[in-house]
Amino acid sequence: MAEQPESTSPFVSFLSDYGLTDEFVGVCKAVVLRAAPSARIIDITHGIPPFDVRAGALALARAVQYLPPGVVLAVVDPGVGTDRRAVAVEVEGGFLVGPDNGLLAPAVAMLGGARRVVSLTNPEYRLEAPGATFAGRDVFAPAAGYLAVGTPLEALGELVDPMSLVPGMVPLPSDEGGRAAGEVLWVDRYGNAQLNIDPGDLVALGVEPGGPLEVLCGHDKRTGRWVSSYAEAGPLELAVVVDSYGLVSLTFDRRPAAEELGLKAGSAVTLGPVTVEAGA
């Protein structure tokens, strides 16, 4: 989390798959403010696709290094009401609160790892509820609010082994015959497709900034070019750019690359040097 001047108003940063159509986000914020009336709440995003834990984990990992010290409240919870744990994780600069389903793990790793973890089992720091389907309101939001005002972590439940946290499901690229085989992590609202491939992976394969490279999406093989900005790509040119998070993205200038290439999160993409077909 980014360093900020000390303030009497604690920060709670909130991410969810709740959307903004229903009252869910507003109710969770109200519950946070009941425990921490002076808290300032940052909406990271509430547009995570429903139940998509991996998308939520990736968005949280991208954002967490820029958030102010305080509490992160993250809720993407397809297992709500089951025996999956509800946890609060102490990290450098604050706490992360949410379901123990892999949602928090990449962000915890980005922040240097868990110092302590509790299972949120103390009923004194929950809301009574007629059903078990809204843990964001009844379990996670109260915990975030109480932590924001300095309630000791161990008051919220029993300490558990940090090594027992469910790991995130963030895929790693592989080397397949001198090519970087990866997949789409994220498609942004502009249609750019972020890959799990580091630019260093391409350099190691002999692809240089400014030069051509081969892009394989399913059975679709194209030649692209490594550019330094979106606008550097030609009007119809497939381009590879290092995005604001330091990863490789596929793009067209002001056109949705993911739509034109038939890509979505999880789609396989292979990048490598341009090859010359036999007999060409």
Q: Read off the pLDDT band of 277 (50, 70, 90).
A: low
- In percent, the amount of the chain with pLDDT more than 90 equals 86
CATH of domain 174-272: 2.40.30.90
Residues 116-154: tens digit of each pLDDT: 999 999 999 999 988 889 999 999 999 999 999 999 999
For the chain, the domains span 11-164, 174-272
Q: With beta carbons less than 8 A apart as the criterion, state whether 261 and 217 touch.
A: yes
pTM of the model: 0.88
CATH of domain 11-164: 3.40.50.10790
The angle, 0 to 180 degrees and rounded to 10, between the axes of the packed helices 24-35 and 141-148 is 30
Q: How far is CA 45 from the centre of its chain?
A: 10
Q: Read off the pLDDT band of 8 (50, 70, 90).
A: confident
Q: pLDDT at position 250, please?
A: 97
